[in-house]
Copies of this chain bind each other. A is one copy, B any other.
Amino acid sequence: MSEAPLVPGTVAEHAICLLIKLGQVAFRIAEDDLGEFGLRVRHYSVLQALADNGAMSQLALGAFLRIDPATMVTSLDDLEKVGYAMRTRDPQDRRRYVVDITEDGRKVLVRLNSTLVGLDDELLADLKALDRKSLHRIMSKLASGPTVPGMFDALRESTDTKKKA
């Protein structure tokens, strides 16, 4: 089966169909490899955001990563349980709590990042260096928006409204 295309026939004419299928494969591969650390992709995102930004409130973290509050709570519980993140007093306002990455969290983050670099190399092995750069640049542009983030936010809002209705 390995020779058969991942997105066969006319379906591959649609960029959106290619993106969906490649994204699904990327997700399964990443979940599989990060699973060896007992973590999922979303745990990596949380740790990386905390390393990038410093301590954040749970609300700010959820907004930054577009992760809904319920998923954020369980993700933080998971990370606290293994000692990679902790809820702590906000240094700017001692009455509030913020989330921060721990020393162990920083250590595992280094290993997660090298796993992801390795996965990029594996996943993109069929591309020449120039195409690989172009792909990264074009996807970064799409992710920077405004269109795609806006579409996603609109969809999340409409789902929230449906849930509440």
A residues near B (Cβ < 8 Å) are 1-12, 14-30, 32, 41, 44-45, 48-49, 51-53, 63-66, 113, 116-117, 119-120, 122-127, 131-132, 134-136, 138-153, 155
Contact = CB atoms under 8 A, between A and B. Distances in A.
Contact of A135 (B2, B3, B21, B135): B135
Contacts of A64: 4, 8
A6 B148 contact: yes
What number of copies of this chain does the assembly contain? 2
Nearest to A132: B15
Nearest to A134: B134
Main secondary structure of the interface of A (DSSP, over half): helix
A-B CB proximity, top 3 nearest = A23-B23, A9-B52, A2-B150
A145 B122 CA distance: 12
Given A1-B153, A25-B152, A15 B147 contact: no
Given A3-B146, A6-B142, A9-B53, 5 more contacts: A2-B146, A4-B63, A15-B132, A16-B26, A127-B142
A2 B131 contact: no
A119 B148 CA distance: 11
20 contacts: A2-B150, A4-B149, A6-B148, A6-B152, A7-B143, A9-B52, A9-B53, A14-B119, A15-B139, A16-B120, A17-B116, A19-B22, A19-B23, A20-B23, A28-B152, A29-B152, A123-B142, A126-B141, A127-B141, A131-B138
